[in-house]
Amino acid sequence: MEPERECRVLSIQSHVVRGYVGNKAATFPLQVLGFEVDTVNSVQFSNHTGYAHWKGQVLNSDELHELYEGLKLNKVNQYDYVLTGYTRDTSFLAMVVDIVQELKQQNSNLVYVCDPVMGDKWNGEGSMYVPKDLLPVYRDKVVPVADIITPNQFEAELLTGRKIHTEKDALEVMDMLHAMGPETVVITSSDLQAPLGNDYLIALGSHRKTHADGTNMTQRIRVESPKVDAVFVGTGDLFAAMLLAWTHKHPNNLKVACEKTVSAMQHVLQRTIKSAKAQAGEGNKPNSAHLELRMVQSKKDIENPEIIVKATVL
């Protein structure tokens, strides 16, 4: 049997010394699933910013360019995938776009997976936690070169300028996002009412393939996963990395890719909350350190997730 060709990912995300967000949350699962991962750390912090204190450094766009130039000089800037997450700086984001475009010129099959991290909803109200001037860069420059995007509901609304109140709205918003460039759109979380009830969270996915004769075929799915009562950090980074891996392994089956991604997430979150409660002790609320994702302990679930969450084809 021919060995599978080595697949290489360039992941440009934040790095923490302690815990699992950004590259720390993305690299391990990708490696476990057989990918070579080259990481550029957009920041290096002691820990994620959900803790009371954090210290560290931020990489600027010139420094990013310098790292990329080093790869280029050695002719090792060949990639199958680029993965990006949280960024705070517009010039850094613009530099990422330049790098993606250059890599796509070298390899027309390169897939860019972008989590357009801009904000979220709390108690129904959306707010941005990055500077507002990032929105036009994402909308006008990043999304058009992306192949797979994983916004939450609020980010999908920001990118399209359209509010989502119903599932029909969400499907139309995903169509608008397809029209901007990406073949695959997954709205990773929403406040839509889940058919299974209030204890479930809805994610929606849409995969659009354009055939040689110019006709479109769209596959759409809904995934309902049990809510876990805690605030985790790094789940979006883990989700995007696993979606990259499973869409690679199931290129024309978004249903299976999302089932494996979301099921693995559930295994990780259930293990994390169980462990966090045990560490916090009876009757105490787990803190940020307790709630760090139990990644290493979930290796088998990441590698071969038992499907505990099914997707519905719409």
Question: Residues with catalytic annotation?
Answer: 237
Q: At residue 278, what are phi and psi to the nearest 5 degrees?
A: -65, -40
* Residue tagged 């954090």 (tokens): 54
Q: Which residues contact 108 (CB under 8 A, 6 or more apart)?
A: none
d(CA 148, CA 294): 26
d(CA 243, CA 249): 10
Q: Is the dihedral of CA 39, 253, 157, 178 positive or negative?
A: positive
Closest CA to 256 of 227, 297, 214, 219: 219
Is 295 within 8 Å of 29 (Cβ atoms)? yes
How many separate helices (H) and strands (E) can be counted in the chain?
Answer: 10, 12
Q: Is 95 helix (H, G, I), strand (E, B) or coil?
A: helix
Q: Give the count of beta carbons closer than 10 Å to the beta carbon of residue 102.
A: 12
